[in-house]
Amino acid sequence: MQIEQLSAAELVKRIGTGELTAAQCTDHFLGKIRDKNDDNGAFLAQCDEQAADAAKQIDASIAAGKSPGPLAGLPVAVKDGICTAGITTTAGSKMLSEFVPPYDATIVSRLKDAGAIVIGKTNMDEFAMGSSNENSAFHPAKNPWNHDHVPGGSSGGSATAVAAAMAPVAIGSDTGGSIRQPASFCGITGLKPTYGRVSRYGLIAFASSLDQIGPMTRSAEDCALVMQTLAGHDKNDSTSAPVDVADYMAALEKPLSGLKVGICKQHFEEGLGEEVRASVNDAIDVLKTLGASTVEIELPYTQYGIAAYYVIAPCEASSNLSRFDGVRYTNRAAAENLEEMYSKTRAEFFGEEVKKRIMLGTHALSSGYYDAYYLKASKVRRMIKNDYDKAFESVDLILGPTVPTTAFKFNQHAADPLAMYLADIYTVAANLSGVPAISIPCGFDSAGLPVGLQLQARRFDEATLLQAAHQYQTQTDWHQRSPQS
Amino acid sequence: MNQTLETTQAQRDAVTDADVTLIVGLEVHVQLDTQSKLFCNCSTAYGADANTQTCPVCTGMPGTLPVINQRALKLAIKTGLALNCKIANYTKWDRKNYFYPDLPKGYQISQFDKPICGEGHLTISDAKGAFETRDIQIERAHLEEDAGKSIHDETGAQKPSKIDLNRTGTPLLEIVTKPDLRSAEEAKAFLTELKLILTYIDVSDCNMQEGSLRCDANVNLHIKVDGEKIATPIAEVKNLNSFRAAERAIGYEAERQLRVWKKDGLGIADAPKQTRGWDDANQKTTKSREKEDAADYRYFPDPDLIAVETTDEEINAIGSTIEYLPSKLRTELMESYGLEAYDTEVIVSQGIGVVTYYKTVADFLTKSASGSKSPGKTASNWVAQEVLRYLNEQNCAIGDYPISGDQLGELLARIAKGDFDQTRGKDVLAQMLENRADLEAAIEKLGIKAVDSGEVEALCQQIIDENQGVIEQIKGGKVQAVGSLIGKAKKLNPNINPNLVKETILKQIGI
Ligand SMILES: [Zn+2]
């Protein structure tokens, strides 16, 4: 069996026993990146030296009989919106093309402490704004199942990297679906944790109240393995929750008998692709055979999710992105005076989509509009949260498609940005309400593109998500299929 | 208030000072006395090399997040309690968005609609009665982070501006009064009392030179014209960095606004709020170059921080750490120590150290059975004159004063007992200070001894014999001439009690 076909759990096991060295494993994946990146553009940076050094240290410590850490030797690709000390971190933007952070994001430190090795930084829509990777300021990543199709976004590079076996594990971030939608498009497993479950410290903010970092892997089991390291309170992030972390690996093996699954009516209405619908329905049957029962539920306010999301996220973004003003670490345009320096810098180094959202957010927060936009959207958000609270009184999970369609082609939505925004229609509500959600592969369409199944759970109940996803994956092999490229 | 009343030149010319009311509201920025900044662990110490007290958080690096400094929150609550403010059980953080090079994030974390401290008041009074004692209403007090410092090239060589971010993120409490102050003197009294309170409760060093206390004043006039009241346009005078500057700037504005209004008659609705700065060298306010259009800061809740909930128990616990407030000490000194308002103010305005010292002296004197008729007043005279003079001359704090309160009390007790007079007492004090001597050693060094009655009588007889001319004058009715004889007696024996000399001489010559 080729190294890249092994699960993350298996890689860590073999490295721990000495059957495989961290150096061999790291070399192997760095080689894959070199081979494939020109074609699929998954990575913006490859960390050959740092990764080789780290691997050497892991091997030395294993040889010295020291405890190698739960992820010892595991290569990890990190989304380029997450700060890595000494490694250029661009967030997919020309604004930050020269930015080398002096510090590691909390999750990067945690991964390193657990023995994981950062092998590269993955492509993304600029500042995580996009659903196709077409907004990367450098080049888009491509869907490994078909290079004419988008990998999804904004964590498209991470999804491509895992699907194309350039990394066993990638880290993404999800603001409105940015982990789950590309996971769905690329046929991998992607978890958006509960808001507050994983530290955001070091994640270049898009919309702070919605952003969450999470793992993107081939299987739920690998997701659980990595999540165990990512999860937990961080004193540097006030919004990270001081809630105990469950034993995710132990939760995987529990049978699903007695599990109540809510099927959200709103997720099966107009707009859902027929092939996607069929695959999702098949998945429901699989879960039933595993002992889960299903019940139809309603989340009536989620129909306003996209509208609320496209107010709240740009509002927060307009403020979060103010720091990119040409004064400090960003690129700077030549100008005669301060005002001109600001406007030229921001005009030149921000992409179109980012500028559009900054303007939307700035407008929505302006005096006289605040109540009608931001305040109203916040109220809708509360109603959506109430919907979920009510639903979870009677069900353990909510099931539905991750995205209405499979991966679309490049430029397909160029003329109709609203259609692109609808790619987030089933995913934004989890961000607005803060609940955890996972996307797992559940089939393919007739063009051979993957279909994703979304499961959502109560706040801080990632264990049940991973359990159900894993049990489903014991009965199906969608997650084990690999693209040719 | 009539917003649109048009006045004629004749009407305006007829306005006298009696028709004009000065309206002043203050915004005071107080730097809270914390070791570290409001949202990161960087030091707040003043005077370090530029940009050495910075980290990824306070320089606004992408991905960094703020974490609230709990001590700053406690100090803000303590201050609010001392200012009689309603403390919020629920308070949150908001972003104030604007671009400026010394504002690294492009927004300032502040508090918009849920400040930590709500309405309160501070009582101002004047010991000399320049204005009536009254409560100045406080609108709110909120926490916010300070910006950095821009350093522009002033050589005219067009060199690039520099930015020092050491100050960025320093915790500030902005205290906002209602437009309640009616004169420059009242404004100065407010600031003085505020600073005194902040010092007593130990929340800020209030060092104005280092920017720990900064003040802006909103000033306008209400003018009565034929029974109607007209308001002049508001001027916000910024960066008043001393109480004197505040007092003068407000006084200047009062005069300027009346002069301008008499000329143009423009009211508050006719002209926008103006930002002005105080020019200390020329003793006048000048219009700032800032744009006049109202800035839209697009406040919204900061999603990186969670709201702060504080229970009444927690608030009370913080309140119990307030040991001394100037107003309570004033009452105590007047009621329990019998001091007048003026003497009280001299002591209280010096801070808690001097008050405690004074009380030790007065208490010792009271308990000494020395027969002192007004121990409180006596102690206050000595502390105000002798002790404070020494502190001023030596530029030191009461903690460094070499003589304990008990020792000074003992000295005053000895004077009250008649062991020696006040003048000799001051010699003793000087001796104690000069040689770091204790009381007994100083008395001995000066050779002060009790003089027995036989000695007094003999000495008085000698003086009578040698000064017959003066004695004749006294006998002729000019009793005050005895003063010169007392002087002679003191020269013969410095330890002699002058009152006793006077009594004895008069008795001996039969008056
Ligand atoms: Zn700092």
CA atoms of B167 and B350, how far apart (whole Å): 29
Average pLDDT for B314-318? 98
Q: Which residues of A touch B306 (CB under 8 A)?
A: 238-239
Question: Is the CB of A374 inside 8 Å of chain B's CB atoms?
Answer: yes
Q: Let me know how many helices (H) and strands (E) chain A has, helices first.
A: 16, 11
CA atoms of A151 and B85, how far apart (whole Å): 57
Sign for the pseudo-dihedral over CA of B459, B462, B463, B464: positive
Question: What are residue B192's phi and psi, to 5 degrees?
Answer: -65, -45
User: Is the Cβ pair B107, A338 closer than 8 Å?
Assistant: no
Strands B90-91 and B308-309: antiparallel
Q: Residue A296: beta bridge partners?
A: A263
Among A103, A183, A119, smallest CA distance to A452 is for A183
Question: Is the CB of A421 inside 8 Å of chain B's CB atoms?
Answer: no
Please identify which residue in the block is written with the tokens 């702060």. Answer: B308
Q: How far is CA B219 from CA B89, B125, B270, B281, B429, in A?
A: 33, 21, 16, 21, 50
Q: How far is CA A256 from CA A104, A194, A369, in A?
A: 39, 21, 48
The residue from A131, A132, A136, A154 that is catalytic is A154
- Widest distance between CA atoms in chain A: 70
Q: Which residues of B touch A89 (CB under 8 A)?
A: 62-63
Q: How far is the CA of B51 from the centre of ligand 1 (A)?
A: 10
Please identify which residue in the block is written with the tokens 């926008």. Answer: B272
User: Is the Cβ pair A328, B106 closer than 8 Å?
Assistant: no
A14 alpha carbon, distance to own chain's centre: 27
Among A283, A194, A288, A224, smallest CA distance to A466 is for A224
- DSSP structure class, residue A204: -
Q: How many CB atoms lie within 10 A of CB A403?
A: 29
For residue A227, the model assigns a pLDDT of: 98
Instruction: Please report the DSSP string for A271-328 in residue order.
Output: T--HHHHHHHHHHHHHHHHTT-EEEEE--GGGGGHHHHHHHHHHHHHHHHGGG-SSSS
For residue B290, the model assigns a pLDDT of: 62
Q: How far is the CA of A416 from the centre of ligand 1 (A)?
A: 44
Residue in A103, A208, A342 closest to B303 by CB: A208
For residue A475, the model assigns a pLDDT of: 98
Bigger pLDDT: A118 or B288? A118
Query: Residue B397 carries which side chain, given as an amino acid letter?
Result: A
Q: Which residues of A touch B150 (CB under 8 A)?
A: none
Question: Is the CB of A392 inside 8 Å of chain B's CB atoms?
Answer: no
- State which H helix or E strand residue A25 sits in: helix A22-40
Helices (H), A156-260: 156-163, 180-186, 220-230, 248-252
Sequence-distant contacts of A31-34: CB under 8 A, at least 24 apart: A32/A4, A32/A164, A32/A165, A32/A166, A32/A167, A33/A119, A33/A120, A33/A161, A33/A166, A33/A167
Average pLDDT for B237-257? 94
For residue A251, the model assigns a pLDDT of: 97
For residue B154, the model assigns a pLDDT of: 79
A19 alpha carbon, distance to own chain's centre: 31
Told to judge if A154 belongs to the known catalytic residues of this protein, a careful annotator would answer yes
Q: Is the pLDDT of residue B156 over 80?
A: no
Q: Minimal Cα distance from A103: which residue of B? A: B56
Please identify which residue in the block is written with the tokens 């002005």. Answer: B276
Q: How far is B366 from chain A (nearest CA, A)?
A: 56
User: Is the Cβ pair B63, A101 closer than 8 Å?
Assistant: yes
Please identify which residue in the block is written with the tokens 């004064």. Answer: A327
A437 alpha carbon, distance to own chain's centre: 11
CA atoms of B365 and B359, how far apart (whole Å): 10
User: Is the Cβ pair B62, A322 closer than 8 Å?
Assistant: no
- DSSP structure class, residue B232: P
Residue in A238, A316, A323 closest to B65 by CB: A238
Told to judge if A7 belongs to the known catalytic residues of this protein, a careful annotator would answer no
- Per-residue buried b or exposed e for A270-298, using 16+ beta carbons within 10 Å of the residue's own CB: eebeebbeebbeebbebbeebebebeebe
For residue B363, the model assigns a pLDDT of: 96
The CATH H-level superfamily of A3-260+436-480 is Amidase signature (AS) domain (3.90.1300.10)
Q: How far is the CA of B65 from the centre of ligand 1 (A)?
A: 11
For residue A420, the model assigns a pLDDT of: 81
Could you tell me the two tokens for B5?
Answer: 């009343």
CA atoms of B375 and B362, how far apart (whole Å): 6
The residue from A178, A219, A279, A433 that is catalytic is A178
Please identify which residue in the block is written with the tokens 């023995």. Answer: A115
- DSSP structure class, residue A78: E
Question: Is the CB of A213 inside 8 Å of chain B's CB atoms?
Answer: no
Residue in A105, A367, A374 closest to B63 by CB: A105
- State which H helix or E strand residue B30 sits in: strand B20-31
Cβ–Cβ pairs < 8 A, chains A and B: 101
Q: How far is the CA of B64 from the centre of ligand 1 (A)?
A: 10
CA atoms of B314 and A373, how far apart (whole Å): 36
* Chain B residue set in contact with A, beta carbons under 8 Å: 56, 59-68, 95, 97, 99, 101, 104-107, 163, 296, 298-300, 303-306
Told to judge if A279 belongs to the known catalytic residues of this protein, a careful annotator would answer no
Among B296, B65, B110, B147, smallest CA distance to A362 is for B296
For residue B4, the model assigns a pLDDT of: 65
Bigger pLDDT: A479 or B436? A479
Q: Which residues of B touch A341 (CB under 8 A)?
A: none
CB B495 within 8 A of CB B448: yes
Please identify which residue in the block is written with the tokens 């949150």. Answer: B92
Q: What is the overall mean pLDDT for chain B?
A: 92
Q: Is the pLDDT of residue B423 over 90?
A: no
Could you tell me the two tokens for A271?
Answer: 């707009």
This prediction has a pTM of 0.92
Domain locations in chain B as residue ranges: 9-312, 326-445, 453-508
Residue in B65, B106, B305 closest to A236 by CB: B65
Bigger pLDDT: B437 or A120? A120
Among A481, A404, A466, A477, smallest CA distance to A436 is for A466
Average pLDDT for B284-306? 85
CA atoms of A342 and A326, how far apart (whole Å): 6
User: Is the Cβ pair A204, B97 closer than 8 Å?
Assistant: no
Query: Residue A29 carries which side chain, given as an amino acid letter?
Result: F
Residue in B67, B99, B299 closest to A322 by CB: B99
CA atoms of A156 and A225, how far apart (whole Å): 22
Residue in A200, A316, A322 closest to B65 by CB: A200
CA atoms of B190 and B195, how far apart (whole Å): 8
Q: What is the overall mean pLDDT for chain A?
A: 96
End-to-end CA distance of chain B: 76
Q: How far is the CA of B100 from the centre of ligand 1 (A)?
A: 18
Q: What is the ipTM of this complex?
A: 0.96
Q: Which residues of A touch B107 (CB under 8 A)?
A: 319, 322
For residue B3, the model assigns a pLDDT of: 63
- For an interface test with A, give the residue of B107, B298, B305, B306 to mutate (most A CBs within 10 A): B298
Q: Is B211 exposed, middle or buried (0-12, 13-18, 19+ CB in 10 A)?
A: middle
For residue B291, the model assigns a pLDDT of: 58
Q: How far is B60 from chain A (nearest CA, A)?
A: 7
- DSSP structure class, residue B43: B
Ranked by mean pLDDT, the top range of A412-421, B183-192, B470-479 is: B183-192
Q: Model confidence over B453-511: pLDDT tens digits?
A: 788 888 888 888 888 888 888 888 888 888 888 888 888 887 787 778 888 888 888 87
Among B300, B30, B308, smallest CA distance to B176 is for B30
For residue B294, the model assigns a pLDDT of: 63
The residue from A32, A36, A79, A142 that is catalytic is A79
| Of the listed ranges A103-112, A151-160, B436-445, the one predicted with least confidence | B436-445
B58 alpha carbon, distance to own chain's centre: 32
Question: Is the CB of A325 inside 8 Å of chain B's CB atoms?
Answer: yes
Q: Model confidence over B372-413: pLDDT tens digits?
A: 889 999 999 999 999 999 999 999 999 999 999 999 999 999
B220 alpha carbon, distance to own chain's centre: 25
Residue in A96, A203, A362 closest to B298 by CB: A362
- For an interface test with A, give the residue of B42, B300, B302, B309 to mutate (most A CBs within 10 A): B300
Q: How far is B268 from chain A (nearest CA, A)?
A: 22
Q: How far is B153 from chain A (nearest CA, A)?
A: 14
Percent of chain A at pLDDT > 90 equals 94
